[in-house]
Structure 1
């Protein structure tokens, strides 16, 4: 019998299984994990596991879907329009994204780490790219008037943003979400070359 999704015990069990899954991925990689491993680490029996998930892949899918959607919901509305104020303060959408990732750091550090899930990285790139494209399409400037082709701009921004997030996680998040958001803001709106030499006092 499957437990009701809002049952507090079911919620606790799912959280335990998700935590166990992340720990085991770190230890030996997802492919080497069995349902028995997950149940044992979560302190439940296998029959209880099957009350919540048909297999370990469904557990992984639900974890990925939840966090991807949570991240996208958090970052919206996103603005990529240049503004002079962003020299002195971070883009609010960037603050939200770094804050969300810090709050769920265990998940993102594991999933994007050395023993992480390549499928998650692929889906993350796709969702971020789609979100950025939606914002770019709000700009009424014609594609023919752009100095750089839109697909190249999209690829550049997506890769740069995710690369910065992954680096931050790999380094143990040495900077606060606010500081990281401001740094990403400067890199995004000023460009990496200008960001190295920009003096805010002269603006």
Structure 2
């Protein structure tokens, strides 16, 4: 099976879209392969050609999303800034663009009826990214793990507020807000 085959790409996209539609109504554990295939307009045989079970499809979706999140988070660091918080340029922030790109998934993650495991998967990924990118400063901090948890929760808080506002603000407006908050917190 060629993963670059247009038919494979279209089938997987249909299955991912169907999965998100079903996750808005029910838990991952209660989604059957039959319901997923019906929603995606593919046969069960086609599904099993690509995945072992529904959890496998979810894992693939989450893995792809977290990879994109990591690339988005790393974008400001690619500009070679040493003192990133004070030099943070809103135009280099990509995390809100990432969330907008995957908005249907984030609507599920931040829905109060969703399992907390979705939230914690995202939180842990952000926390790991922050830990990895501030390691060189860890000996200057009182408690590196506490600071990283605090910062990851701050990002999550902004994302939840944006979700609660229906994602009405543009990613660029959210970039400006994050930049403003980071710079003003550091200069107080």
TM-score of the pair, normalised by structure 2: 0.86
The DSSP-based 3-state class of the residue aligned with 1:4 is coil
Match status 1:76 vs 2:74: yes
Structure with bigger gyration radius: 1
CA distance in 1, matches of 2:84, 2:187: 19
Tell me which residue corresponds to 1:60: 58
Structure 1 residue 178, shift from structure 2 partner: 1.1
Residue 133 of structure 1, aligned match among 131, 134, 143: 131
C-alpha contact (below 8 Å) 2:91/2:172 kept by paired residues: no
Structure 1 residue 112, shift from structure 2 partner: 3.1
What's the C-alpha RMSD, in Å, of the aligned pairs? Answer: 2.3
Alignment of 1:1-203 (within 5 A): 3-79=1-77, 81-83=84-86, 90=90, 92=92, 94=93, 96-139=94-137, 142-143=139-140, 146=141, 148-191=142-185
Higher helix share: 2
List runs of 5+ in structure 1 lacking aligned partners.
195-203
Tell me which residue corresponds to 2:80: none
Deviations along 1:104-138, one digit per CA (max 9) or x if unpaired, are 21122123323434333222112111111122123
C-alpha contact (below 8 Å) 1:35/1:55 kept by paired residues: yes
Structure 1 residue 37, shift from structure 2 partner: 0.2
TM-score of the pair, normalised by structure 1: 0.80
List runs of 5+ in structure 2 lacking aligned partners.
78-82
CA distance in 1, matches of 2:124, 2:39: 32
C-alpha contact (below 8 Å) 1:64/1:120 kept by paired residues: no
Q: 1:117 to 1:70 in 2, by over 3 A?
A: farther
Structure 1 residue 191, shift from structure 2 partner: 2.1
Q: 1:193 to 1:32 in 2, by over 3 A?
A: farther
